[in-house]
Amino acid sequence: MNPLLAQFIPEARDLLEQAGNGMLALERDAGSQSVINDVFRAVHTLKGSSGLFDVGPLTRLVHAAEDLLGEVRTGEIPLNSDIVDRLLDSLDLVGRWIDALETREALPSDAEATMTERVKVLRSWLAEPSTAGLDRATAPMTSVVTEVPDWLDRFPEADRMTAFKALSRPRLLAWSFEPDEDCFFRGDDPVAMLRHAPGILTLRAGPRAPFPTFDSMDPLSCLLRFEVLSDTTRAELDEHMRYVIERVDIREIASADLASPVGKAAGGPVFGDFGRLARQHLAGGDRTALERAVSTLLTMIAPASFQASALRWVQAHLSCHGLDRRGDLERLIAAVETGVLPPRSEHPAATSSAAEPAPSPTEGEAALHDTARTIAAEQIKVLKTPADPALAQGRLEAVATVLKNLADALGDSHMAAELPNAVTAFRQTGDLGPLQALVETLGEQRPEIPPPDRIAPSAAEPIPASSKPGAAVDEHGDVKALPRVLRVDQSKIDSIMNLVAELIVAKNGLSYLATRAEQVHGSRVVAREIKDQFAVIDRITQGLQVGVMAVRMMPVSQVFQRFPRLVRDISRKLGKKIELVIEGEDTEADKNVLESLADPLIHMVRNSLDHGIETPDERKAAGKPEQGVLKIVARQENDFVVIEVSDDGKGIDPLRVKAKALKLGLISPERAEQMNDGEAINLVFDAGLSTKEEVSDLSGRGVGMDVVRSAVIKAGGEVSLRSTLGAGTLVTVRLPLTMAVTRIVTIECRGRIFGIPMDHVVETVRVKREHIHRIKAMETFVLRDTIIPIARLARALRLPEVASDAQRDEEAVMVVKVGRERVGMVVDGFRERLEVIVKPLEGVLEGLPGFSGTALLGDGQVLLVLDLQEML
């Protein structure tokens, strides 16, 4: 398989899972902007990634879903259950196509036709938006913030004045954009996005936080913040920035907000005289006299003063609007008179800081200058290094590109303009003087990005991203490590686990060798040395085993994540109101255990939804809330993972279950009379028994709970059920945390060695023969006031009788737990406890009743492991 496609498939599944979970969350809370942004981002990323491959139908379907989500996100289309249904159906279809890509590296043959039909459905909502009949440019804007941003005064007065004069409307948009640090890895180019943004008047850029040191800086992380003034509508800007809208802060401000004088305020009576005279001219409508008074005062005061800046803004207002905006003119005249700019009445909370000096460059800007000069100086060193003509030409072009990008980044228009001449001079004469002079003065201007029409094409080229960066910079400018995830094929982990299994077998062999050295060869010293080495290898083996098992451990959320969608779909189909509660999603278990849990849990959930929880009318009649509750809980108990599925439905009627079991011949009438309610309820695990009278596509065939029990037992676990009529049902599944390593106790029977999983062993006892009694056809004994039935292992295995059996005064009895019952199993003797890898029976032995598998002992013997659940 194409390595890139192999990487895309698991990433696509993760994105589909994220989008699906988000859609379910949106259905519960349609107003959550963060959730809709997450869903939109997941679908957008999937669309972009799929474009790398020849999967046109998949890309077009995801694109249609993205467009619909975009309209939902902006509020153009209200979210409803029908839209959620169609979007989820489309995601399911994409998931099936991803499966096809994994198996055949191609989409199904009917993908194009299926895509056309689905896209038509998705775009049917786009054809009739909620603002039908309105032009997007004039449609009502959502979430418009009118507060003046605190960064507006950081623009130079000349840039703000140019924007003021170029405005075509009384209001404009002041917006900031902070690209995601990893934006380059998704194919995003922030500079290109800004260059094509509508109506840009001016913009500036700088670090969102102080840059890290040069050694720790990651050149593939975007740490910039852009601040922009635009003469456009909110709808147009939303459309252009729709893929990254969550990274954009948009403010709608008045053009007069640009008129913020800068500089240090001067004093003197001349300003008071000007104020009185200017108000007279303004009241009399004498524009010429007011312009003359402004020009006269400008020649008398320092150009860098606050009052001079305010006077220039008066001139700009007069040249653009005459005397029409009297309120704004009066405000600026007051600023000249008092040295402080009064707040505008429509923004009473916004106070001006114009009387303060213009902010000095930040530490981040200074660090940027230093870094840029260091890079530029290194480029000069590169040119000084001797090289053959062909290589020198390529070097020069590379150096020129780097210097041009540095000039653009620092807003050094002088260097950008003179760089081509300096490069040409070096190419023709070999004179480095002009280039060195430019580098020495690099960045002496204010660090701003020029307007979009002057951004060189090279500055808009995306930065190549060949690998994920290993570090990022936090808000304090410190380097922090990113979590690193390594995707490993499960077969490789299984291969390591097999090696661990062989190591465990070899380790067990050391114990056998120690015994043989002492008993056969009579060397206790050698035996002791072997035991010492055994202890060391045992410790290392256990550590290795724990480490490999930790890699295989996964949270049960991997299984639980499918249930919100399942519950939603089935409850809608059945017309029921059901709340799903999930707890303990972080509980971990072996991956194989989780895979064995998937089908049983689905059957249990479907049974609760179909059999257990009633319809709203039935619940109201029973005095219950209309909405039922289905609860799934996971927790760890010692070496087991316990899953509980409970509901507050109608419960199970034990009499009805008995009647159904009698009708099907599953139990005898005598057995039915002896059964208590708990035993009767657990009959639902028998094959063919269902409490549902009619058969549907959900249940009624009598195979669901039987499948549950069979799968759980096969995985080495147990399942039980408790139910209270009218109150609800609880199903508990108990499985070992891992299925790879099994702890067993070995026993002896008729000269043969067998293994029994420790999970089934309760205790071992010696019972005198006179204490064994017979009740009807069954042998029993009393253990701590409890009657324990006895089963003889030799008879169960059909091993021949021996004469010594009748001569023993006491029996070795292993008390084991089978299901919920305790049974005493008579054996000839108890042996050691071991950790082994149990392999399932294969070949001619496959399916042999009474045995769960085999294990290899340290002396090379093959040990048969008993399946007590089936045997007893």
Residue 428 dihedral angles phi and psi, to the nearest 5°? -85, -40
Cβ neighbors of 267 (< 8 A, separation 6 or more) are 339
3-class SS string, 680-739 = HHHHHHCCCCCCCCCCCCCCCCCCHHHHHHHHHHHCCCEEEEEEECCCEEEEEEEEECCC
Phi, psi of 325 (to 5 degrees): -95, 75
Residue 381: partners with Cβ closer than 8 Å, 6 or more residues away: none
Please report, to the nearest 10 degrees, the dihedral formed by the alpha carbons of residues 410, 416, 422, 426 taken in order.
70
Per the domain annotation, does 56 fall within a domain?
Answer: yes
Q: Which residues touch 18 (CB under 8 Å, ≥6 apart)?
A: 38, 39, 42
Residue 663 pLDDT greater than 50, yes or no: yes
Weakest mean pLDDT among 347-356, 782-791, 819-828, 850-859: 347-356
Instruction: Give the number of other Cβ atoms within 10 Å of residue 760's Cβ.
Output: 22
Question: Token digits for 618?
Answer: 């039935």
Q: Which pair of tokens denotes residue 379?
A: 């480029």
**pLDDT at residue 563 in the model:** 85
Residue 560: pLDDT above 70?
yes
Residues 420 and 294 in one domain: no
Mean of per-residue pLDDT scores for the chain: 78
pLDDT category at 483 given cuts 50, 70, 90 is low
Q: Domain check: are 229 and 313 in the same one?
A: no
- Are residues 769 and 649 part of one domain? no
In terms of domains, do 61 and 90 share one? yes
107 pLDDT higher than 80: yes
Tell me the two tokens of residue 301.
């005061």
At residue 468 the predicted structure's pLDDT band, cuts being 50, 70 and 90, is: very low
pLDDT over threshold 70, residue 452: no
Classified as helix, coil or strand, 623 is coil
Q: Verify that 323 and 287 share a domain, yes or no.
A: yes
Q: What does the alpha-carbon distance between residue 681 and residue 22 come to, in Å, rounded to a whole number?
A: 38
Smallest CA-to-CA distance from 372 within 334, 404, 410, 328 is with 410
pLDDT at 815: 92
The encoded tokens of residue 615 equal 């319809």
- Poorest-pLDDT segment among 248-257, 711-720, 860-869: 711-720
Q: Are residues 746 and 865 in the same domain?
A: yes
Same domain, 583 and 660: yes
Q: How confident is the model over 457-470, as a mean pLDDT? A: 37
The single residue listed with the structure tokens 């230093």 is 370
Which pTM was predicted?
A: 0.50
Q: How many CA atoms lie within 13 A of 149 on its CB side?
A: 21
Question: Which position has the higher pLDDT, 547 or 462?
Answer: 547
Last residue of a domain, one of 237, 258, 279: 258
Instruction: Give me the percent of the chain exceeding a pLDDT of 90.
Output: 3
Give the residue-averaged pLDDT of 768-773: 88
Q: What is the mean pLDDT of residues 29-34?
A: 79
567 and 699 together in one domain? yes
**Alpha carbons 203 and 195: distance in angstroms, whole number:** 10
Residue 133 has pLDDT above 60, yes or no: no
Written as six digits, the tokens of 260 are 């913020």
- Model pLDDT, residue 725: 86
pLDDT at 130: 38
- Residue 237: predicted pLDDT: 85
Residue 188 has pLDDT above 60, yes or no: yes
Q: Could you tell me the CATH number of the domain that includes residue 830?
A: 2.40.50.180
653 assigned to some structural domain: yes
Q: Which of 533, 551, 569 is the last residue of a domain?
A: 551
For helices 306-321 and 157-166, the axis angle rounded to 10 degrees is 10
Given the structure tokens 């085999």, which residue do they identify?
854
The verdict on residue 225 lying in a domain is yes
Residues 25 and 116 in one domain: yes
Residue 133 lies inside a defined structural domain of this protein: no
Q: Is 180 helix (H, G, I), strand (E, B) or coil?
A: coil
Instruction: Give a yes or no: residue 695 inside a domain.
Output: yes
Domain identity same for 692 and 563 = yes
> DSSP E strands: which ranges in 518-569?
553-555
CA separation for the pair 140, 127 (Å, rounded): 18
Residues 55-73 pLDDT 10s: 888 888 888 888 888 888 8
Residue 517 pLDDT > 80: yes
First to last CA, the chain: 49
Structure confidence at residue 632 (pLDDT): 92
The answer, yes or no, to whether residue 464 has pLDDT greater than 80, is no
CA–CA distance, 135 with 269 (Å, rounded to integer): 55
Q: Let me know whether 725 and 591 are in one domain.
A: yes
Domain assignment present for residue 540? The answer is yes
- Are residues 390 and 313 part of one domain? no
**Which of 208-217, 692-701, 825-834 ranks highest by mean pLDDT?**
825-834
Q: Which amino acid is at 635?
A: R
| Last-in-domain residue among 709, 736, 763 | 736
Residue 139 reports pLDDT greater than 60? no
* DSSP symbols for 750-776: TTEEEEEEGGGEEEEEEEEGGG-EEET
| The pLDDT value given to residue 444 | 59
Structural domain count of the chain: 7
pLDDT at 228: 92
Average pLDDT score over residue span 643-655: 88
User: Out of 393-397, 467-471, 840-844, which region has the weakest mean confidence (pLDDT)?
Assistant: 467-471
What pLDDT, on a 0 to 100 scale, did the predictor assign at position 692?
A: 58
pLDDT tops 80 at residue 469:
no
Range of the domain at 752: 742-871
Q: Is residue 27 part of a domain?
A: yes
Q: Residue 460 domain-assigned? A: no
